[in-house]
Structure 1
Amino acid sequence: NYSGLVAARFFMGVFEAGVGPAAPIILSFFYLRHELAWRTALFYGSSTFAGAFGGLIAYGVAKNLTHESLAPWQLLFIIEGIPTIFLGIVTIFVLPNAPETLERWFVTPEEKQVAIERSRSGHNTDNSLLDKRQLFAALKDHKNLFTCLIYIGLNIPLASYTSFLPTIVKLMGYEDAKAQLMTVPPYACAIVCVFAVCWNSDRTRRRGFHVAGSALVACIGYILLISSGNVKANYTGACFVAMGLYPIIPLMLSWVANNNVGHTKRAVSIALLNTFGQCFATVGTQIYKTPTAPRFFMGYGVCLAFTVVMIVFSLVLTFVLNRENNRRDEQYGEPKPLTPEEQQEAIDNGIYDDHSSFRYFI
């Protein structure tokens, strides 16, 4: 019944809420700053892959599996839920918290030391479990205001994507199982873009321009959706939207992780990003009203506006960070690598990423 569904979905959300913010934090302990977007893309790209693969599974279940007492959608929940539960249990035992706990991976002492040194070079010398000063520093950091605004601009169209894609597929004449199959290509296009964009972002060590460029691709998609009444053109527009939106998730998470020093400050900054993004995602689920189908002018228009918001604020943040880097170069000269002791001293003194030797990823 409805109340049971709401209760189940509530607790499902509660227990998986920490997974998204925790993943880039853990990855930042093991990878250098210019390696993080690609690794985060591997994690979040898998969810995009699941969007494509889930359609294939749904097609297979609807076409081939029957049960006396279970509906196809119930079978689908069981089939897709078992791997999640299994991997959740396995993860407890095999996923290391930090390079210092790599014994579980049976690495040699030399390999462990290399991992520790790499982690330290990525500004991971903080030895505090929870630092209240870092918490308040994250809340007062103007960079986090910009990143939250960008992420709000992302999550509203992202949350609404699953609302209009089935409608477009249905208008193309596909029903039931075949309709599930036709949801695969947009996600497949998105997977390619997630990996390609994030790889290039790491290669060039630039985040902001890649966020703005991806949002521009999504803009093109929404313009196609608004301007054309042709169903095939709308489907193409939906592919452009997916190709533009999904790469921004790992780009933003790695950007925030790159530019916040201190475990607590980094964790709180990423949590802020996700909290504001997910809260405003509820807006995205309400902008596609049935009376406006099948053209959904209001929904597409709202999403287009927020993709423009992403472009503007990502470029503004890029300008602000680049200006600060130039100021530090002029005032302090070329940055010199800090020893682990110097990094820890900067954290203990509440300097964090304001240190004269720290340069922001732009």
Structure 2
Amino acid sequence: MQQPSRIDGQKIPNPPAGAAAINVPLLCVILTGVLVVSVLLAIGLGAAAVSPGETLRYLWAALTGGRITADEVTAYQIIWQVRTPRVLLAVLVGAGLSAVGVAIQAMVRNALADPFVLGVSSGASAGAVLVSVFGAMAAMGIYAVSVGAFLGALLVSTLVYLASRNSGGLSPLRLVLTGVAMAFGFQAVMSVIVYFAPDGEATSMILFWSMGGFGAASWGALPVVAVVTIVSIVLLHRHGRMLDVLALGDETSASLGVDSVRLRRRLFVLTSLATGAMVAVSGAIGFVGLVMPHLVRLWVGAAHVRVLAIAPLVGAIFMVWADLVARTLVAPRELPIGAITALVGVPVFVILLRRRGYLFGGR
């Protein structure tokens, strides 16, 4: 018989019996295999389709310095220089948004919370548009817009933190309300920029940062995002048992020996940095961080250690295929990936809400 888990000598609930029966390590192995196959197929598919075998050969040549023939140069460059960084960025952003969504829903105790509920996406969009329209930080070259987006996200995160903090710490309700207010405020800033901009560049930039996309992916943008995303997922997973307690409420947390104020502050900083880094390279992609945590909870239960082991893999797989649809459905034009995630996420979320007995954090 499974023994209840403990924190500071106190018992906390075990996962439901059905969820506990799921072999999480085996499920992780299976999902990792699905992700690898998805990445390989997504790299090869597109306007110029390349077979999986040829895709593997080009990737191996790029990694080992192997040779290719002159007539293969174009296909090789498409695979290695264009599609591979784009698909890998989709993996990182999908995994990161899913993990951050799990943490934020526990942090603010709100089933409708997602990585952008704190206004980070609006701040990033405003920063990117300001840099693009007024030419700020030109010395950063091609990274100027991403740096501007990240600084805008950090600015909003700081403002939300300062406005939400009181003598009792960070209140979940204050965090949500302040984040929503900041989001509306920075959207108004972007509207003013569009109104006074000399051309349509600001409008297109706002559309990109509002709906997201991986069209600007490059090898240079991957290292920072990879480090931030992987470190964030690892740290959030290590806080899994604490998130279980935090989701029960501050009074319960205190009775179990968990300092909810300090933990919420730590999570706020971590999730804001991670979200800012992802939005800076992909724009705001909605519904991934909202829907994926709920889907995974249906599979493995409400225990955050289990959810945070599975959600990043599910989110990564979903994002790879969503990006593939976005760039192939109406090729050669490209759809905003946020439109694809919304078309999938809205009906899925409505179905989840209508499931009899489904509640946030369990059934």
TM above 0.5, one fold?
no
Instruction: Flag the structure with higher helix content.
Output: 1
* TM-score where L is the length of structure 2: 0.34
